[in-house]
Structure 1
């Protein structure tokens, strides 16, 4: 491990780390905003409402994110004239926005599917009780279904946060200087292979921080689960004598 290289170019790694966090964070926020209505539509019994969402989710979960990034970044150039007419070319010619759109579309599909599982995990008795109380569909979802669904899906959503953060490394292939992009640039200048190890350590540190923060949030959302785990760990095991 070369400390001279990381001392000389460490500021570039930190700049790339900040861009990685910003890109992933914005994509996750956009995905969380879009996933909520899509998960409700996906859970609907109306086929005309759930089928388009199912196709969308299947496409973005079933294809590599690198291919999706290429479709948006390079494919947008095929429609440059149309995008200029719509005054959208400034958006699709920028690699940052292309990566942001790709990651947001991808994580929306995953978050919508995870949240759909949470909606299906809500006890039917709570929904029936809300109906009996006279709540409208919108009120049921706002006060009962969605809060409960988010509590159920919250651990899985944490995994999606980590997967998107690590998957964002592909943004470097479209000349975006995130953490991996800066690492490749430094390696091209120094040919010091240990810089990739330092980049991996930075990814590890960021991931560990996210895990710790997410666990704290999970404990606040589901305090009863933490109390139950503490009780189980503090309860001594009772040996049972074998019966003849």
Structure 2
């Protein structure tokens, strides 16, 4: 019989992890957006000294798993004595900040390509018309380029936010108790009993097999 009181208590426990999950997702997307704009503008600047390091950054963070990035930031940076004695150590030793940094750097790599594609999608004719009217570069970007690019980037950016909400589940591996971390904590005392009961149900018929398969004596 289903224990509804247990399910209700489990649901309430999982809901306590929702604020941390949303906080990680929103904060990482916000920080990643700022960095992504800088990366996209560097890629479009035409300067080799800016474009190539940016391209390398995007390649590294898009071609490596986020799980590895979290491990390297949380466990790897602490292996260097220079970092442990620096002013950044109070931040880098905390799992929350390490997860936030990893998520922000990861989403910045993907979002920079979204922003770069959106900027390139702005019709050249509108830019040339604005320049022909004597519009300054800052005003051109503020009134024409950015509004049109934002309209093109919103659908892909919505998908990126959804992916980041799902990616916050990886923060549980560095002891953050968001929804996935709480779920693992709830499962840990229950799963061994469930696993043992399944093994008993599976192995008990096998224990009886030699008795039935043995030839009769005499």
What SS is found at the alignment partner of 2:104?
A: helix
C-alpha offsets along residues 119-163 of structure 1, whole Å, 9 cap, x if unaligned? 010000011112212233333222211221111011000000011
RMSD: 2.0
What SS is found at the alignment partner of 1:74?
A: helix
Deviation at 1:192, TM superposition (A): 9.3
Q: Does residue 147 in structure 1 map to residue 153 in structure 2? A: no
Q: TM-score, normalised to structure 2's length?
A: 0.82
Deviation at 1:41, TM superposition (A): 1.4
For 1:180, the equivalent position in structure 2 comes to 180
Q: TM-score, normalised to structure 1's length?
A: 0.74
Cα distance in 2 between the residues matched to 1:6 and 1:95: 29
C-alpha contact 2:78 2:84 (8 A) present in aligned 1: no
What SS is found at the alignment partner of 2:87?
A: coil
- Structure 1: where are the runs of 5+ without partners? 194-244
| Cα distance change, pair 164–88 in 1 and its aligned pair in 2 (3 A) | same
C-alpha contact 1:107 1:164 (8 A) present in aligned 2: yes
Cα distance in 2 between the residues matched to 1:171 and 1:124: 43
For 1:102, the equivalent position in structure 2 comes to 102
C-alpha offsets along residues 149-204 of structure 1, whole Å, 9 cap, x if unaligned? 111011000000011111111111111111000000000133399xxxxxxxxxxx
C-alpha offsets along residues 87-131 of structure 1, whole Å, 9 cap, x if unaligned? 111111111110000000011111111010000100000111122
C-alpha offsets along residues 28-52 of structure 1, whole Å, 9 cap, x if unaligned? 1111122122211112222222111
C-alpha contact 2:172 2:180 (8 A) present in aligned 1: yes
For 2:42, the equivalent position in structure 1 comes to 41
Alignment of 1:162-177 (within 5 A): 162-177=162-177
For 1:91, the equivalent position in structure 2 comes to 91
Deviation at 1:77, TM superposition (A): 1.1
For 1:136, the equivalent position in structure 2 comes to 136
Range moving further from structure 2, 182-191 or 130-139: 130-139
Cα distance in 1 between the residues matched to 2:61 and 2:152: 23
| Cα distance change, pair 2–98 in 1 and its aligned pair in 2 (3 A) | farther
